[in-house]
Amino acid sequence: MTEAPSRAPRLEDSVDAAIVREISIDARATLSHLSDRVGLSVSAVQSRLRRLEARGIVQGYRPILDAEALGRPLAAFVEITPLDPAQPDNAPELLAHLSAIEACHSIAGEAAYMLFVRVPTPRDLEALIRDIRAAAQVNTRTTVVLQTFFEARPIEPAEFPA
């Protein structure tokens, strides 16, 4: 007998969707604030939030930081393509140690992955690109970010409209 494929956890109802929407907008929202916004008692909201965390829907809470204030004002997207298409597809593992890589996405198209990186200077970007090429044996194509108008936007649940 074969097992059914596992599914990603899903929201149970519109109340879960409302809680997720509210913490997506403000992860520091108090239980009291969430209670007011979704129409449940504080203890019911706390119980629901714990279930959302236990089921892996809410995976953590992170601050939104000012990269420039932290000394990493230069952002760039780096596409990587294997030098040899027959080489193992293990670039994420080979690059995980490079802390300047903020995100690694598998993508469709000519490139295999799209990296989002933040560094202090153009010279640091050049060194990082050299490190990426050496570590993963890849070609790169880099696009420097001039200005960011928005990022880390709240994720609206799709299943239950507001």
| Nearest residue to 118 via CA among 92, 148, 81 | 148
Residue that is written with structure tokens 């939030």 in the block: 49
How far, in Å, CA of 153 to CA of 58, rounded?
15
pLDDT tens-digit profile, the chain (162 residues): 555 556 777 888 999 999 999 999 999 999 999 999 999 999 999 999 999 999 999 999 988 899 999 999 999 999 999 999 899 999 999 999 999 999 999 999 999 999 999 999 999 999 999 999 999 999 999 999 999 999 888 888 876 555
Q: Which residues pair with 28 in a beta bridge?
A: none
List of E strands, 6-132 = 74-82, 101-106, 113-119
Cα–Cα distance measured from residue 130 to residue 22, given in angstroms and rounded to the nearest whole number: 41
Q: Where are the beta strands (DSSP E) in the chain?
A: 74-82, 101-106, 113-119, 138-144
Please give the Cα distance from 91 to 63 (Å, whole number): 28
Contact call for residues 129 and 143 (beta carbons, < 8 A): no
